Amino acid sequence: MSDAQSYLRATSADYSRWCGAMEVHRRLLTVNPEYAGNRAVIENTAFSYETQRREAARQGVIDVPVVVHVVHSTPEQNIDDAQINSQIDVLNQDFRAANADVNQVPPVWRDLVADARLQFHLARTDPLGRTTDGITRTQTSVTDWDTDDLVKFSLSGGRDAWPADVYLNVWVCRLRGGLLGYAQFPGGAASTDGVVITHSAFGTRGTARAPFDGGRTAVHEIGHWLNLRHIWGDDDEGCSGSDFVADTPNQAGPNLGSPSFPTATCGNAPNGDMFMNYMDYTDDAAMFMFTKGQAARMDATLDNARLTLSRQAVTV
């Protein structure tokens, strides 16, 4: 982790977004040669989709089965069904560009707003074919968790994943150090595949706490799970990084809070940073769009690395 990242994480507990997806990504690149190889193939495919804008490749809507693993050490962390359902509602609005605040996108970028043709439902059957509400609950003695994936294993006090080729696994727990969530990019091990969200940034009610009570942390992390990068390219606030999407302006680093339009960096005036993009670090109320280029990268993932999910969705 860079010095800038360490500072942001240390100071983000009450004021700023912090995502651990790139921590996980860099760790897996170091320790897992298979992951590195898989990532190269996935990125080559994503590049092809994004540059060719294969919008006609998929016309239908993919409906992804979700299992939410609630891992709790206190009654407060054992969030109720209503809070979980509120998060599913947000996902189904945001990934279809049906969110009420999408009209706040500046006029210069409104033509870029994308319907990702993706929706979500809590799983109806478990891995053994039994009826389920798509929620598991695990009481643990572990008070909080980090990006080391331990929450994803029963042996370490967490909860084992359901098969990642059938379900999107979402772990909800208490994360430490201001961490709101993290995801595993496609190409990693099935046993750790999915996203992790701290309970106070999950959904729109219950324990969800402002300014992260709009359900957008899960939108951001599922974006990573579908192979989207942070919009600024994770280059320690330089201007040489890239999110590998042509229609998102180059920007120096993450935007925090609720910026005013325009906010210019990296010579991107007059329009400046696309800080209202779900893959920036702004508050929930300040992010409300994916672009067509980002949707193309998600298509590449759903047509290839996560193809089995779209096949399973009609029955699970």
- pLDDT, average across residues 64-86: 98
Exposed, middle or buried, 128 (CB in 10 Å: 0-12/13-18/19+)? Answer: exposed
Q: What is the pLDDT of residues 78-111, one digit of tens each?
A: 999 999 999 999 999 999 999 999 999 999 999 9
- pLDDT, average across residues 73-82: 98
Q: Which pLDDT score is estimated for 53?
A: 63
Q: Which pLDDT score is estimated for 11?
A: 43
43 is catalytic: no
Q: Which pLDDT score is estimated for 235?
A: 87
Asked if pLDDT for residue 7 goes beyond 50, the answer is no
Strands (E), 168-299: 168-173, 181-183, 195-198
Per the CB < 8 A criterion, the answer to whether 105 and 113 are in contact is yes
Asked if pLDDT for residue 276 goes beyond 80, the answer is yes
Mean pLDDT, the chain, whole residue set: 92
Q: What is the pLDDT of residues 196-240, one digit of tens each?
A: 999 999 999 999 999 999 999 999 999 999 999 999 999 888 899
- Rounded to 5 degrees, what are φ and ψ at 71? -115, 115
| C-alpha angle 166-172-178 in degrees, rounded to nearest 5 | 130
Asked if pLDDT for residue 57 goes beyond 70, the answer is no
Exposed, middle or buried, 25 (CB in 10 Å: 0-12/13-18/19+)? Answer: buried
Considering only the top CATH level, what class is 16-248+291-314?
Answer: alpha beta
The residue annotated as part of the active site, out of 23, 76, 221, 237, is: 221
Portion of the chain with pLDDT greater than 70, in percent: 92
Q: Which pLDDT score is estimated for 295?
A: 95
Q: How much is the pTM?
A: 0.94
Cα(115)–Cα(315) distance, integer angstroms: 24
Per-domain residue ranges for the chain? 16-248+291-314
- What SS3 class is residue 309? helix
Q: Which segment of 67-71, 169-173, 275-279, 306-310 scores lowest on mean pLDDT?
A: 306-310
Phi-psi region of 129 (alpha: psi -120 to 50; beta: other; left: phi over 0): left
- pLDDT, average across residues 153-177: 97
